[in-house]
A = this chain, B = another copy of it.
Amino acid sequence: MVNVAVIGASGYGGGELLRWLSCHPEARVRVATSRTYAGRPVSDSFPGLTGLLDLSFSPGADAVDLEGCDVVFLARDNGWAMKAASEFLLHVPRLIDLSADFRFRDVSVYARWYSDHAAPSLAAEAVYGLPELHRDAIRTARVVGNPGCYTTASILALAPLVASGLVDTSTLIVDAKSGVSGAGRSKFALDYHFAEANESVTAYRVAGTHRHTPEIEQELSALAGAEVRVTFTPHLVPMTRGILATCYASLVEQRDAEGLRALYRDFYAGHPFVQVRDGLPSTKHVVGSNMCHIGLGVDERVRRVTVVSAVDNLGKGMATQAIQNMNLMLGLDETSGLRIPGMWP
C-alpha cells in the first residue's frame, strides 16, 4: 500500500481524488487538508463518502503528517503550489500538482499568462503529466504538473494529426464545451448559479484569451517541431461534468476518415485510457471515468478534418489523470484503481 497526502482536499479536484483513492486497491489516503473544514470528517464536505472513507480534514500538513507518505497531491489555486512545493519535497519524495504552476517548460510563458514564477528550477525539472505523451518521463519524475481539463481533451484530440505532419498547423481550432464543475468549487459567481447556468450555452474568453491556450500550444508545438498557434474557444454547457472538444484542421493532402482513425489507433496503441471509436463521442460515455473517447470525420469537399474528443473534466481532465500519474511514478500498474467504468446513464 502506498500512502498519500492530499492538500486542498475540499474542492472538486481534491474531493475527486478522495473519492477514487478511497477505493484504490493499492493506495491509502493518510492526510487530507482543508482550511475550511479543518477538524471535521471528510463526509461533512462530501456526504457521499459517509461510511466509505473514515478520515478528518487537517488544517495543514506538517512533517509529522507527511512522514511515510509516498506522494503528495497539491489541489489548490494557481500560484500557491510554486511557493509550497519545495517544502513538501523535503518530506515527500514525489509531488503531483493539479494547478497550472508546473505545467510550463518555459517560465516566461507562465509569467505572461499567470505571474512571475516563484520556483523556476522546479518548473524546469517538472514533467507535464499527460501519460499518453510523456509516460516514461513521468515514471521517474519527482514533480508532475497535472494538465488542465480543456488541455487534456484538446491535446489528445490533435496530437496524432500534428505529430504526423498531415495537417496545416496554422489552421488549428479547438471549440470546447465544458460542464460547470470546471469552474471549481470556490470561484462562485452568478455565472455558476444554477438558475443562470441552467438551460444555457455560452462562449467565454473567445479568440485565444483563455489560459489553457498556451498549454495546448506548448505540447502541440513540441509534437510539430515548430511553433504552433491554436484558436481555442471555451463554452459553458448546462451539465455538471464533462468536456467535449471539437477540433478543426485543414489536411495537407486528402485523407478519408477510416485512414485517419487507423492513424489514431496506432498512435494510442498501448494506451488503455484513450479509445478511438468509429462513432462520435458523447461526454456521458466517459463521465465518472479516466477515459478519453475520440471520433472524427473528414469534409472532403474542403479537405478539413473534424476530430471530437470527450473526457470527464474532473476525471481524465484532472483527478484520475493525477492518479494515473501516481501509479506510474510509484511503479504500480498504470491502470490500478482506474478500471471503473463511468456512470451511465
Contacts and interface: CB of A to CB of B under 8 A. Distances in A.
A193 to B, nearest CB: 6
B241 A282 contact: no
A179 B181 CA distance: 20
Given A47-B277, A291-B51, A203 B308 contact: yes
A288 interface: yes
A270 interface: no
Interface residues of A, number: 93
A283 interface: yes
A132 interface: no
A181 B283 CA distance: 18
Contacts of A302: 170, 208, 229, 231
A78 interface: no
A233 B341 CA distance: 28
Nearest to A342: B48
Give the interface centre of A175, A248, A281 by most chain B CB atoms within 10 Å. Answer: A175
Given A15-B344, A206-B306, A47 B199 contact: no
Contacts of A194: 180, 192-194, 197-198, 238, 240
Given A48-B289, A194-B193, A242-B201, A301 B208 contact: yes
A22 interface: yes
A240 B198 contact: yes
B188 A284 contact: no
A244 interface: yes
Interface stretch (A83-91, A101-109, A142-150, A292-300): A292-300
A181 B237 contact: no
Contacts of A170: 302
Contacts of A273: 51
Contact of A231 (B280, B295, B299): B299
A286 to B, nearest CB: 7
A188 B199 contact: no
B206 A345 contact: no
A267 interface: no
Question: Which 8 A/B pairs are nearest by Cβ-Cβ distance?
Answer: A200-B284, A207-B297, A206-B297, A202-B282, A207-B299, A181-B195, A180-B194, A175-B175
